[in-house]
C-alpha cells in the first residue's frame, strides 16, 4: 500500500527518511541509464526485463562511513560473485541522496526472490534493500524491520 509504514521506532525513523529520499540510477544492458525515485504519483515507463527487481549494495555495512572506496569495491565484488552464483541477472546501479553528496554503487538484482535478496543483504551488513516494480518504490528492511512503499517515478 502506497505511503504505509508498517513499523517505525526511534532507531529506524531517521534511516527511513533518508532511504525514501534516495535516488537510484540503473544502467541497463543497452547502457541506458534510468533514474528511479519515490514520489506521490507514479510516472515513467517500465523498460526492464523483469517484473520486479531489487537494488542493493555491500558498501558501508551497518551504515558506517568508515569504509574506503577500495574496501567498498571489494565488498561489492564479493556480493556480485554471490549473487551471480545464486543465479541472479545484474545491472549496475548507484544509489545517492538528492544532492549526490552520498553515493553508493551496487546492483539491480533480477531473478531472485525477496527472501534470498534479504539474506544477502544481512550477510553484507545492509539495513535495507529497494524493491522496484511497475509503479512501486519499496524500501524493505533487512537488518531493520521496516517496509515502506511509495509510487515510483522513472525518468
CA angle 27, 32, 38 (to 5 degrees): 60
Q: What is the pLDDT of residues 66-92, one digit of tens each?
A: 999 999 999 999 999 999 999 999 999
- pLDDT tens, residue by residue, 103-136: 999 999 999 999 999 999 999 999 999 999 999 9
Q: What is the pTM of this model?
A: 0.91
C-alpha cell at 79: 556480493
User: What does the pLDDT read at residue 63?
Assistant: 85
CA distances to 60, 80, 139, 149 from 4, in Å? 27, 31, 11, 6
Amino acid at each position: 500500500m502506497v505511503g504505509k509504514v508498517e513499523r517505525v521506532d526511534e532507531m529506524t525513523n531517521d534511516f527511513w527518511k533518508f532511504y525514501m529520499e534516495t535516488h537510484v540510477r540503473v544502467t541497463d544492458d543497452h547502457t541506458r541509464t534510468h533514474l528511479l525515485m519515490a514520489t506521490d504519483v507514479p510516472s515513467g515507463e517500465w523498460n526492464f526485463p523483469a517484473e520486479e527487481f531489487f537494488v542493493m549494495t555491500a558498501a558501508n555495512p551497518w551504515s558506517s562511513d568508515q569504509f574506503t572506496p577500495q574496501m567498498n569495491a571489494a565488498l561489492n565484488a564479493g556480493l556480485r560473485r554471490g549473487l551471480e552464483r545464486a543465479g541472479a541477472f545484474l545491472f549496475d546501479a548507484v544509489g545517492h541522496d538528492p544532492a549526490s553528496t552520498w553515493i553508493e554503487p551496487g546492483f539491480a538484482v533480477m531473478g531472485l526472490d525477496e527472501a534470498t535478496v534479504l539474506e544477502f543483504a544481512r550477510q553484507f551488513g545492509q539495513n535495507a534493500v529497494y524493491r522496484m516494480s511497475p509503479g512501486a518504490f519499496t524500501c524493505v528492511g533487512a537488518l531493520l524491520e521496516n517496509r515502506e512503499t511509495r509510487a515510483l517515478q522513472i525518468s
